[in-house]
Chains A and B, each alone.
Chain A
Amino acid sequence: MNRFHRDRRGVSVTVGYVLMLAVAGLLLGVLVTAGGGLLEGQSKQVVGDELTVVGSQLAANIHEADRLAQVAHADANTTAATGAVALDVNLPRQVAGTGYRIEIGNRTISLLTSNPTLNVTVRYPETTVPVSTDGQLNGGELRIVYETPPAGEPVEAGRLEVTG
């Protein structure tokens, strides 16, 4: 054993450092890469979950407005007067630090983000009063507005206007 301890042949300081750095770099690189992948996956998951919640909230508010619109319409039909509903929906401007856009269809709400690239669709039962929007909306504060159509018109003649 003492013989090897004293024997300095075949040992280079440079080679030792290179080997040590290579192994350390490899280990740390794998750690950082794995951590980055984990972060990306979790980030997508969290953004997706929050968009789903945001979409569900918007759907609930649309149905709330629909319910009020039906009441206002039924009242207006018996009195020939006008009724109105205006409902503010306070949604977050960003989810997990990224902005998003909202696209409202007849029975679906699509929420889109670009970083990470996601398209979350929330389905909701069709409303009695049709929903109307002017293209895509930015996430944040929305307003749902309804005015009763002229007396005698069916309930479908009205519109739930969603604006940003």
Chain B
Amino acid sequence: MADVRAWFDGDSDRGQLLLVTALALAVMLVTVALLLNTAIFTENVATRDTTADGSEAIELRGEAVAAVGELIETENRAGDGNPENVDDAIDAMGPLVDRERARHGTVATLNRSRSATSGQLLRWNDSGNPRAFDEYGTSWTFVESLDNARGFRVAIDPSTLIETTAASSDTNAMGVRFLNSTTDNVTYYLYEDGTTLSVAKAVDGGTPTRQCSIEHDGTTTVEFTASQLSTTGAATDCFRELWPPNSPAEIRFVNVGDEKGTAEATVESGATPIGDVDDDSAVYSATVDITYQSQDLLFETTVRVAPGEPR
């Protein structure tokens, strides 16, 4: 063993071993402190939201889609919708989006990708009032040569509907049939079941099954493209869709009796309405480029906006 007494004399020469150990312990304590610091930092990071602001990017996209959709609807609401007006409005909206997002420290752009497409707004009504559906007999075509459609809704007076059940609704309840020459036809029958208006679906002549219903209170609207039923002060989203999966080329009313109401659809240019259906020019869709850029994220997408198009 080394001479730990070294050059000290008397009782003051015994501290070297203690000194070395104290140093070792000091190093250990400092290391423990650093580890504790790391552990605390880890806990802190673990409870922090460190994901990029993807939700903001999706939010921006949603807001842009809603805003452009509102532009289209506003243009169509006035009648004789002109795609050029929507194009001009989108061009004017771009700098506003840029400026608004700059306040949040992010870069966002909204640009028109291509010109808005034209369409037709088809309406079945009597100067805005309910109209009997049997003017063209018990079965007639509302529109054919259909490519794309949105906002198809039928508002009906439930008291004019046949009271029946889902299984027997195909015999006499009024139906809306979606036809496609290559795939199965799908028919949605509207009937009254006690105090509810119900919709039953039948595929290619099969037995109808109930899809959705609502306790009616006056005129009730069946939104086929949005899969929703609404009446005075109430609305219900249908879990089972009310728009067929067969990309219909024709919409026809069948089993028409005394039913009265209105029908409306916005269709892409090229479709042919039948008979005395009101046919206004309209804007069908618009396509915009959206870019969102923040410190950590770049998101670029091109969106086609056609409000009310089936999901």
Contacts and interface: CB of A to CB of B under 8 A. Distances in A.
A46 B41 CA distance: 10
Contact of B297 (A20, A38, A88, A95): A88
Interface residues of B, number: 40
Given A28-B17, A53-B46, A65-B54, A85 B299 contact: yes
Contacts of B304: 75, 78-79
Contacts of B67: none
Interface string A64-99: 110110011001101101111111111000011100
Contacts of B300: 72, 82-85
B145 to A, nearest CB: 21
A78 B52 CA distance: 26
Nearest to B65: A75
Contacts of A46: 35, 38-39, 42
A42 to B, nearest CB: 5
B18 A24 contact: yes
B66 interface: no
Given A28-B17, A78-B304, A85-B299, A35 B25 contact: yes
B299 A72 contact: yes
B168 interface: no
A21 B4 contact: yes
A31 B25 contact: yes
B31 interface: yes
Nearest to A85: B299
Nearest to B13: A17
Interface in B279-302: 287, 289, 295-302
A43 interface: yes
A126 interface: no
B195 interface: no
Given A53-B46, A87-B297, 10 more contacts: A24-B18, A32-B21, A39-B28, A46-B42, A57-B45, A57-B50, A76-B302, A85-B297, A88-B295, A96-B34
Interface of A: 17-18, 20-21, 24-25, 28, 31-32, 35-36, 38-39, 42-43, 45-46, 49-50, 53, 56-57, 60-61, 64-65, 67-68, 71-72, 75-76, 78-79, 81-90, 95-97
